[in-house]
Structure 1
């Protein structure tokens, strides 16, 4: 399994846009994510995939293009789940890495991506709790 967590920071949007195709940003934004949340989620998903593949940042990130998981309709309420913590779950696949999928939880201040085998089941409810705690800690520090 590959794991990545990224801070959502509007100051990074210009750099993230150089790494993430516009189509992916628009597809993720259509799920109700802000542009910076969408870009951060896409970057975090790529990093999680690169870690599970063993190449880290030496892998060409263009090879890790992302699509919504098949069967997920962008405009459907089923394409994201709003949890008690307020985070959103987005399921993605990388067409060139057919045996893996990525689940990204996106909160106000962070995105947490888990790359795992496409056939694996995972109760990632703890991830939502961790993101909620991060949001609370960052809110208290502000």
Structure 2
């Protein structure tokens, strides 16, 4: 899911607090997320591992919250190229990094490999919830326990 809109201090991701992640900016070194919801002040390219089935993206400026619900995809990618990489990308405007954020379900730590005849199903559902839904309502402990 790509969120469009001002990013600086206006958008935060909830539901990934305290989880382990691989940081693509540091040779996929493994870290544990510290603190509250994730906010954006520089380039980010992380793969969060064993994420909950629900992740929220709060857009305070547009007064809406996007909810990602997922099945069969245990990880989540969070990415923004920031200014230097945005300028180096042929299909990306120099300032577009200020107005986008990628959060998407993935299977990175344990890729899904199918043999001939096997099936696999994964799902990512995106929805918008009422603007009364605000920061803190997505309790990370409840997210991990609910489906």
Q: What TM-score, normalized to structure 1?
A: 0.29
The structure carrying a bigger strand percent of its residues is: 2
The structure carrying a bigger helix percent of its residues is: 1
> Which of the two has higher C-alpha Rg?
2
Q: What TM-score, normalized to structure 2?
A: 0.28
